[in-house]
A and B are shown apart, each in its own frame.
Chain A
Amino acid sequence: MATTVIDHAPARAHAAKTGIWSWITTVDHKRIGILYGATAFGFFLMGGIEALLLRIQLGRPDNTFLSPETYNQLFTMHGTTMIFLAVMPLSAMFFNFFIPLLIGARDVAFPRLNAFSYWVFLLGGLFLNSGFLFGAAPNDGWFGYANLTSNQYSPGLNVDFWMIGLQILGIASLAAGVNFFVTVINLRAPGMKLMRMPVFVWMSFITQVLILLAFPVITVALILVMFDRFFGTHFYIPSAGGDPLLWQHLFWIFGHPEVYILILPSFGIVSEILPVFSRKPLFGYAAMVFSGIFIAFLSFGVWSHHMFATGMGPIADTAFSLTTMLIAIPTGVKIFNWIGTMWGGSIQAKTPMYFCVGFIAMFIIGGLSGVMHASPPADLQQTDTYFVVAHFHYVLFGGSIFALTGGAYYWWPKMFGRMLSEKLGKVHFWLMLIGFNLTFFPMHFVGLLGMPRRVYTYPAGLGFDIYNQIETAGAFFLLVAFLVFLWNIYVTWRKPADAPADPWNGATLEWAIPSPPPEFNFAEIPTVRSRDPLWETKRQHGGRLPEPARVSGAGIHMPNPSFWPVLAAAGVTAVFVSLMLLPKLGPAGVVVAVLFLFFSVFKWAFEPA
């Protein structure tokens, strides 16, 4: 154990808590969480508008609302935005705000690194979208298959924005991965054994492991594309002996764990909400933990189920088919445990619960179509059709987005001191459920009828028309649903911040402290004796606890705000952007950017405490 005495610089005079500068230099995990959430929500709306435009184009056969080129840019950015700039950072909002609270810590292991991750994410997301300003948004799909992404077939800047943008975003994820991994391992409160941690913490922890192991692989894949495009190598160029399939292997070795990165936190959120709103502990805690671990482990063994149509041969096809079917089992275990949690419980019909029950139903549908993909002969019909589009929207929207929305309603009072309106919440839920199913259920049918994905239009008379019309109508339903959500957020914002500490009769530690929490989280680090520590405390107390007092926190040393993470984030971005500017600035640009980055890192490293 590190036990030396060190000389603290005297704590800085009470740093400003309000104003833009305090937000820019914050290292408080709660503020960083809110920054992630607000930014991600903005990108989510962008991705939604992109989808709406796609749906308008597809609403009629032979439509000319969007040109093929614009369509390609929009569907690429829709996918890239939703995956990297919406779902992942929305999960990160909850990791940031709640992991320290749930494990009884005052902050994450490396608060400045945490801020750095956010700023790199923001800059990377802005960079990725800046392609639109040049009329050159990424346009080869979020999966960028080689050698379509080569200079020969994609001569413009589009792919450059895509690969550089993703590299920048990868740095943010990797830094956060190290941070949260170490936080969960090392900063737990006394008594918070690993098998006492809330399931959301477990799922998030497993997600960080996936990030740490999967992101380096796409980093290399993107480096090879960059070298092909910028330096004339031939990694993916078949005419020179390169192998386009190498890209697919590397990408999907990342890409499949990535989809579990997208869903596991949502599994965790649902595992927190269901017990509280069933007034019953989670059914099968150990099974939930181990099934999550098993899913993560298996997720590295299924990647080529995305490649059944590439001619790998019967042995590879069979092996990956088996592993893919296998991974459905631990997922099924979770579904049954969630049902088991609700069974016999006292169900509280509140908005977070609605979204979680909706999640379970929608995710089951998505899982069923997924398991159908696991059979190579069946997949040969389904692949590259709207059947796949239906599958992944059921698991990512019906799954992740429903759960994240439920999490937002559940944790809103803790984050902002106000309860979102129940009435508006239920309207939001029903509009979203109906709109979602109208948009995506018909895709199963039109996909099996042969409508291909990633194509800007379709001819009349193939039987696709009516399905597409319903889907487009459904998309507008979803728009109304989100407007209701925005309205709910707005009217809630106008209310005073007087939500109680524990509005839902929660089981976990975050509900023991005021809403919103003070900077230092806990006046005294709790000692944990149970998986549901707050229920345990309330049982011993004989009922609900009194509202916790707001104390000053004098004597608790919290880390000072810092500007170096922002500067270092700018440095990382500058290095990657300078690579794209090599034709204009030459190596000198890269050298300057690297020196700038080194400067920021050194200032960060030697910042006084």
Chain B
Amino acid sequence: MSDATHALALEHPTSTGIDTRKLAIWTFIGSECLFFASLISTYLVFRGKVIQHGVGPFPHDPWTSPTGQHFDPILEIKLVTVGTALLLFSSLFVVIALNGAQRNRRGQFLSFLGLTIMCGIFFVGMQVYEFTHFVHEGLKLQTNLFGASFFTLTGFHGTHVTIGVIWLITMFILGVRGKVPPGKALNLELAALYWHFVDVVWIVIFPVVYLMK
């Protein structure tokens, strides 16, 4: 993290042998698990109830409005599957980037970090496209319980991805400036841990929202 945190964290050997900042990221991740668990539970609570209350569009079922307008199931699983695959691969890429940083292989570090960032940007872009497409199709946050719970859950996840992308871009810029030598590879590892978490959350969200009918 910063020089100042770094300084104090290194003052004494730690009681566990784990770097204090790494422990902090894991602790934060543990807490965030409950945050997403609550959002996912909310989504699940409303999953069956959407149809009962009449107003579409719906995620997996077609719907005809009272005025006769027909809506297909609104989820575009193919596109999101591509985004999911890229997000999963980005976790691999960031591990390779970290390996490069730790072994002083600048090319490997920067190129794979760049790939990670591009995958992240694609994922966020896919979500922005998906959201605007849904609104265009008539599904807004307020339209029905699916809209409310879907946009809230995936929106908060997307926000977390965006923050992760900003963090990784920061690490990339630092890397280009030569400020991430092997001794400071931990700074990238912290970002990578957060990135893996964001990925794992999506691994739960994707089946629950897109695959389960």
Contact = CB atoms under 8 A, between A and B. Distances in A.
Interface of A: 1-6, 8-9, 106-107, 109-112, 174, 177-179, 181-182, 185-188, 192, 212-217, 219-221, 223-224, 227, 231-235, 240-243, 246, 250, 525, 557, 559-560, 562, 598, 602, 604-609
Contacts of B15: 185-188, 192
Nearest to B149: A235
Interface string B1-16: 1111111111111111
The 10 A-B pairs of least Cβ separation, nearest first, read A241-B53, A216-B35, A220-B38, A4-B183, A609-B7, A233-B148, A232-B142, A216-B34, A609-B3, A2-B19
Contacts of B124: none
Given A6-B3, A233-B148, A562-B4, 19 more contacts: A2-B10, A2-B14, A2-B19, A3-B10, A4-B10, A9-B3, A112-B4, A174-B31, A186-B20, A188-B15, A212-B31, A212-B34, A217-B34, A217-B35, A224-B152, A242-B46, A243-B46, A606-B2, A608-B4
Interface in B37-71: 38-39, 42, 45-46, 49-50, 52-53
A260 to B, nearest CB: 16
Contact of A112 (B5, B11, B156): B5
Given A212-B30, A216-B38, A246-B45, A178 B24 contact: yes
Q: Which of A3, A178, A220, A227 has the most CB of B within 10 A?
A: A220
Interface string B153-175: 00010000000001000100000
B20 A235 contact: no
Interface string B23-39: 11001101110110011
A525 B45 contact: no
A400 to B, nearest CB: 24
Contacts of B31: 174, 177-178, 212-213, 215-216
Given A1-B19, A240-B53, A243-B45, A187 B5 contact: no
A8 B3 CA distance: 8
Nearest to A2: B19
B55 to A, nearest CB: 8
A6 B10 contact: yes
A5 B183 contact: yes
Contacts of B166: 598
Contacts of A559: 4, 7-8
B59 to A, nearest CB: 15
Contacts of A606: 2-3
A182 B4 contact: no
Contacts of A5: 183
B6 A6 contact: yes
Contacts of A1: 13-14, 17-19
Nearest to B25: A178
A577 to B, nearest CB: 19
B141 interface: yes
Nearest to A211: B31
A285 to B, nearest CB: 19
Contacts of A6: 3, 6-7, 10, 183
A602 B23 CA distance: 21
